[in-house]
Amino acid sequence: MTKKAIAEAFDRFAKTMPEAATELHFTNPYTLLVAVALSAQATDVGVNKATKSLFEIVKTPADMLALGLDGLIGHIKTIGLYNSKAKNLIAMAEILISDHDGIVPEDRDALEALPGVGRKTANVVLNEAFGHPTIAVDTHIFRLGNRTGMAPG
């Protein structure tokens, strides 16, 4: 695609979805981080169902640790890979408390150092929670970008 064609495509995207945002439900940067971590290989609808009751009692990393692994599993067992995700979320809460005073860092490297957080999750959190101009790129978007010539390699 030419630069002009790419610009035209993005203009159409902006007109179609002027207020594009995640469909995940969250109340703060921490609950967003949890929801996005749970969304790997799951649907947003499924994650929202599981987090509805979870986020009534978990709003901070300290709340997550108070809930504990077994309590967390009780809330997310409908989501695929829930055992490993639960372990990651507990470890993540511990690190957020010990290394970041219980606050979600506004830094890509610090986010990606957390268990269960990769570049896509970090980008969603940076964009949705902190307003950074990032784009979450999954396998499908990566492939589409390459096939259309919108993004190299």
Domain range list for the chain? 3-11+25-148
Q: Band of the pLDDT at 56, cuts 50, 70, 90?
A: very high
pLDDT computed for residue 125 by the predictor: 97
Q: Is 77 one of the annotated active-site residues of the chain?
A: no
| Residue 146: how many other CB atoms lie within 10 Å | 12
Q: 60 versus 153: which is more confidently predicted? A: 60
Stretch 77-99: mean pLDDT: 98
Rounded distance, CA 91 to CA 45, Å? 25
Stretch 105-129: mean pLDDT: 96
Q: What is the CATH number of domain 3-11+25-148?
A: 1.10.340.30
| Residue 54: how many other CB atoms lie within 10 Å | 23
| Residue 120: how many other CB atoms lie within 10 Å | 19
- Say which of 11, 99, 107, 138 is annotated catalytic: 138
Confirm if 65 and 89 have CB atoms less than 8 A apart.
Answer: no
pLDDT computed for residue 153 by the predictor: 59
Output DSSP code: residue 59. Answer: S
Q: Is 120 one of the annotated active-site residues of the chain?
A: yes
Nearest to 109 by CA among 99, 119, 95: 119
